Structure formats: structure tokens, C-alpha cells
Amino acid sequence: MPITINGQVVPAPSDPRLSLLDLLREQLHLAGTKKGCNQGACGACTVLADGERILSCLALAVQYEGRSIVSIEGLTADGTLHPLQQAFIDHDGFQCGYCTPGQICSAIGMAREIEHGLPSAVTADLEASQMTLTSEELRERMSGNLCRCGAHNGIVAAIAQTYARRPVVAEAAQ
Ligand code: FES
Ligand code: FES
């Protein structure tokens, strides 16, 4: 069964050992998704699988047969940046940019988790009908995405601008 990647149907790899990250980067030449640690510790390889954020370095590509994957390249629709991409530019949410694709995909997945009422380790009221993306929630929920340049203040500002005031999900463009 094929895999849909950024709206394009691609055949599943014949090698079941191939990670989703290596499928994206090495076989499909979608180099936007970055390989940092390659062991699940940095978040640089984050992509969206049916809207959920996953670490593509820990995912075998064949596990995602029949699923829809969106990487950073799939967020731009008809040349128009995703609002979060624009917010990263507006707030200088990057320096070298290596962590940025993972940060952006992760934040989009995080917003979906908020909308679905999934608590984090710092959520105080588990019965609340609607969750608010406070600064504390944002920092906790994004703690899996590291930035070695220390651009975290801009990253937080960009995500807050996009999501903190409205409990909505920005779906990835196909
Ligand atoms: Fe996947 Fe670091 S490269 S978590
Ligand atoms: Fe360089 Fe985050 S902008 S690692």
C-alpha cells in the first residue's frame, strides 16, 4: 500500500528497515525535514502523520502505508506560507534554521492536541472543557524540540501569535 506524502502518492519502500526520515530525505529528496540526533531526542525530524506529530527518525516508513504524511514542504499552499511559517519570520524564530522545520510541524501538531483536549504534564485542570495555550503549556508541550541556537524566545512568540489567542487547529495544507 502506498504512502501519501504532501499530497503525492508514493510507493512504500521495499526495504522495511528504512526510516520515514530517510525515505523523505534520501529517496524523495525532501531535505526540509532534518536529521539531528537520529535517536528521538531533538525533534528536528518532526513531521505530521494524519495530523499527529511524530518523530520520523524513529518511524519505519512501511508503518505508514496508507497514511498521510505532511512535512515542512507540504505546508506551503500555492506559494503562500502557512501562518506559522510567516510568524517564525516575523518573530525571528530561528537562527541557523536547522531545528525550524521540526519546530513548525511540532507546533501544528501541538495545536491539534490542545484542540482535542489532551493534557500535558503542566495542565492543572483536567476537566476543563477548553484548554488554553498558556506560556507554560506552550513551553512544556514544545520541550521535545531543541534549538541549539537558543532562538526559543522567538519560537515561543511565533507559536503564541499563531495559536495562543484562538483554540483552533491549523491544518496542514495538502
Ligand atoms: Fe529525530 Fe532527533 S533526528 S529526534
Ligand atoms: Fe539553529 Fe534552532 S535555529 S538550532
Q: What is the pLDDT along the chain (174 residues), one digit of tens a residue?
A: 899 999 999 999 999 999 999 999 999 999 999 999 999 999 999 999 999 999 999 999 999 999 999 999 999 988 899 999 999 999 999 999 999 999 999 999 999 999 898 999 999 888 887 888 888 999 999 999 999 999 999 999 999 999 986 543 433 333
pLDDT at residue 174, as a whole number: 34
Which CB contacts under 8 angstroms, 24+ apart, belong to 133-139?
Answer: 133/159, 133/160, 133/163, 133/164, 133/167, 134/164, 135/160, 138/110, 138/164
Range of the domain at 29: 3-74
Helix (H, G, I), strand (E, B) or coil at 57: coil
Q: Which ligand approaches the C-alpha of residue 39 most closely?
A: 1
**Looking at 74, 103, 118, which one is the last position of a domain?**
74
How confident is the model over 19-48, as pLDDT tens digits? 999 999 999 999 999 999 999 999 999 999
164 and 96, same structural domain?
Answer: yes
111 and 164, same structural domain?
Answer: yes
131 and 114, same structural domain?
Answer: yes
96 and 67, same structural domain?
Answer: no
**Looking at 74, 104, 129, which one is the last position of a domain?**
74
Q: Is 25 in the pocket of ligand 1 (CB under 6 A)?
A: no
52 and 87, same structural domain?
Answer: no
pLDDT at residue 166, as a whole number: 52
| Residue 94 contacts residue 146 (beta carbons within 8 Å) | no
> Would you say residue 174 lies in a domain?
no
Atom of ligand 2 nearest to the CA of 148: 4
70 and 87, same structural domain?
Answer: no
What is the number of domains present in the chain? 2
> Would you say residue 13 lies in a domain?
yes
Rounded CA gap, 95 and 49, in Å? 27
By most ligand atoms within 8 Å of CB, the mutation choice from 20, 24, 55 for ligand 1 is 55
159 and 108, same structural domain?
Answer: yes
> Would you say residue 120 lies in a domain?
yes
Query: Where do runs of H (alpha helix) occur along the chain?
Result: 20-22, 83-90, 100-115, 135-141, 152-159
89 and 70, same structural domain?
Answer: no
87 and 160, same structural domain?
Answer: yes
pLDDT at residue 165, as a whole number: 62
C-alpha of residue 12 to centroid of ligand 2, in Å: 31
| Residue 56 contacts residue 33 (beta carbons within 8 Å) | yes
**Looking at 49, 74, 99, which one is the last position of a domain?**
74
154 and 111, same structural domain?
Answer: yes
- For residue 162, give the CATH number of its domain: 1.10.150.120
pLDDT at residue 172, as a whole number: 38
Q: Is 148 in the pocket of ligand 1 (CB under 6 A)?
A: no
162 and 88, same structural domain?
Answer: yes
pLDDT at residue 71, as a whole number: 98
Q: Is 94 in the pocket of ligand 2 (CB under 6 A)?
A: yes
Q: Is 45 in the pocket of ligand 1 (CB under 6 A)?
A: yes
Positive/negative CA dihedral, 51, 54, 59, 61: positive
Say if pTM beats, i.e. exceeds, 0.85: yes
